[in-house]
Amino acid sequence: MTTHVVPDARTAGSLVAERIARLVRAVPAAVIGVATGSSPLPVYRALADLVDGGLDLSRVTWFALDEYVGLPPEHPESYRSVLDRELVAPLGLDRLRVHVPEPGSDPYAAAAAYEADIVRAGGIDLQLLGIGGNGHLGFNEPGTPFGIPTHVAELTHATRRDNARFFPSLLEVPTLCVTQGLGTIGRARAHALIATGEAKAAAVAAALTGPVGPECPGSLLQRCPDVFVALDDAAAGGVEPTGQEIDAVR
C-alpha cells in the first residue's frame, strides 16, 4: 500500500488519475471499476485533462460499484445518470462500455448478472474507491462479510443521511441498492482509494491502520496487494505517516 498525503482534493484527484493513466498506457483494454459520490469527482476532472492531452481510453471497459434500487436509470441521481454526467460526457466515453447494475424489477437477478458480467470481462484490473464515513466500500456497510459477491444490500440510516444531500429530502433516498460485494472488490487486481475532508479521517484511519475485519469494510484494503491511497491533509488526520508505507507528497 502506498499512501500519498497532499494539501487538497484536486491534487489527490490528479494523483489517482495518473495511477489510472499508468494502467491504461500499459494495458489499453483495461477493466476499471468506478465509484460515484463526491470523492472521485476530482479524479474524473483530472482524467478529462489527460484525455485532452491525448490519453486514449477508447478500449477501456468500466464497471460501476453500485446502483440504487427503485430509481429509474433516467432519474438524475441514479448512478447511471451520475456516471453519464461525470464520467461518460467529460471523458467522451462510449456509454455502452460503462456498465452499471440494472436492478429493474428483479434486483437479485440483476446482482447475479452483474457479478457474471465482471467475471466474463476478466475481472477488474483497478478499482477506484471512495470510503463512507462509517468505513463502507461500495454499499457494503459495517458487518458485511468480506467474501460476499455482488448483492442486494440495505443502506444504513447513516449512509442515507450522508446521501440525502443529493435528494430533495431524506425520505427520497432509496433504502436498497445493488452493490459489488467485498468479495468482488477484493478480487480486483489493484485498488485506488481517494478520501478528502475531515469527515473521512476516522474511517481512513480505521481502514488503513485499524484491525482488519467486517466491522470496518475499508480494512479489506489491508489484505489487497496493490493499493494506491490519495488523501488530503484533512482526511489523513488520523493516519500516522510511517516508513515507506506513507509517501508524503508535499
Write out the residues near ligand F6R by the rule CB under 6 A: 35-39, 65-66, 130-132, 136-139
Of 28 and 145, CB closest to ligand F6R: 145
Q: What is the smallest separation between the CB atom of 54 and ligand F6R, expressed in angstroms?
A: 28
Nearest-approach distance from CB 234 to ligand F6R, in angstroms: 13
Q: How far is the CB of 139 from ligand F6R (least distance, A)?
A: 6
Smaller CB separation from ligand F6R, 36 or 150: 36
For residues 7 and 66, give the distance between their C-alpha atoms in angstroms, rounded to a whole number. 29
**Closer residue to ligand F6R (CB): 53 or 65:** 65
Least distance from ligand F6R to the Cβ atom of residue 166, Å? 9
Beta carbon nearer to ligand F6R, 112 or 164: 164
Query: Considering beta carbons, is residue 52 or 175 the nearer one to ligand F6R?
Result: 175
**Least distance from ligand F6R to the Cβ atom of residue 53, Å:** 26
Would residue 188 be called left, alpha or beta, if left means φ above 0 and alpha means ψ between -120 and 50 degrees? beta
Longest CA–CA separation in the chain, Å: 50
> Shortest approach of ligand F6R to residue 232 CB, angstroms?
13
Residue (37 or 210) nearer to ligand F6R, CB: 37
